[in-house]
A and B are shown apart, each in its own frame.
Chain A
Amino acid sequence: AQTVTQSQPEMSVQEAETVTLSCTYDTSESNYYLFWYKQPPSRQMILVIRQEAYKQQNATENRFSVNFQKAAKSFSLKISDSQLGDTAMYFCAFTNFGNEKLTFGTGTRLTIIP
């Protein structure tokens, strides 16, 4: 069974700083997808970024980027120039190619301090 581990239950950082959230996963598959979702206080789950395992290039979406280390099964999220609106719960998620289900990590609560 696939597992996703987020080892940082809570983090806080000053506004405008850079922060990195960790995620590791376990799978025996070679084709899969990884995601970071954000859940702000409104509780709406918002897709932040997505990575296909067969792509070597790390995904980037504006201030958000990932460091995907396939051999190490690591998928960290870097938030640059953090903003107050980045305060949220961040979930790392995994799914195998051809499997519709998402496996979520336990989440990291990120607080941006003004």
Chain B
Amino acid sequence: GAVVSQHPSWVICKSGTSVKIECRSLDFQATTMFWYRQFPKQSLMLMATSNEGSKATYEQGVEKDKFLINHASLTLSTLTVTSAHPEDSSFYICSARLGLAGVQETQYFGPGTRLLVL
């Protein structure tokens, strides 16, 4: 149980294009999903918290217009990197929180998406 999928697993794009990454909770409903970025040999950096049906909450320093997040259903959140540039190249990971709203539970992670912007 508690499986989270992410698609695509890797993507290469040209500078200036937009890329959409999907995160799905496969066997549970997730009221909250999270998007992280991870640089090589570093820990995870939280980018934003996504709640179903409401606007995402972004961490300080994360550009809202650059990283668009949509949480349209209890099983799907998407991250769109708009007008991608080489510095956006990174490993992006999503997670979904299992549990009732207001009750802290465990985050389960997707397999990640490797983005390379040329």
Contact = CB atoms under 8 A, between A and B. Distances in A.
Interface of A: 33, 35, 37, 42-47, 50, 91, 95-102, 104-107
Interface of B: 32, 34, 38, 42-44, 46, 49, 91, 93, 95, 97, 102, 104, 106-109, 111-112
Given A91-B43, A107-B43, A45 B109 contact: yes
Contact of A45 (B32, B46, B49, B93): B93
Contacts of A104: 43-44
A101 B32 CA distance: 10
Given A99-B104, A102-B34, 13 more contacts: A45-B44, A45-B95, A45-B109, A45-B112, A46-B109, A47-B108, A91-B43, A91-B44, A95-B104, A98-B104, A100-B34, A102-B107, A107-B43
Given A44-B109, A44-B112, A100 B104 contact: yes
A97 B91 CA distance: 28
18 contacts: A33-B104, A35-B106, A43-B38, A43-B93, A43-B111, A43-B112, A44-B111, A45-B109, A47-B108, A91-B44, A100-B34, A101-B49, A102-B34, A102-B107, A104-B43, A106-B42, A106-B43, A107-B42
B46 A101 contact: yes
Contacts of B44: 45, 91, 104
Nearest to B105: A33
Contacts of B46: 101-102
A53 to B, nearest CB: 11
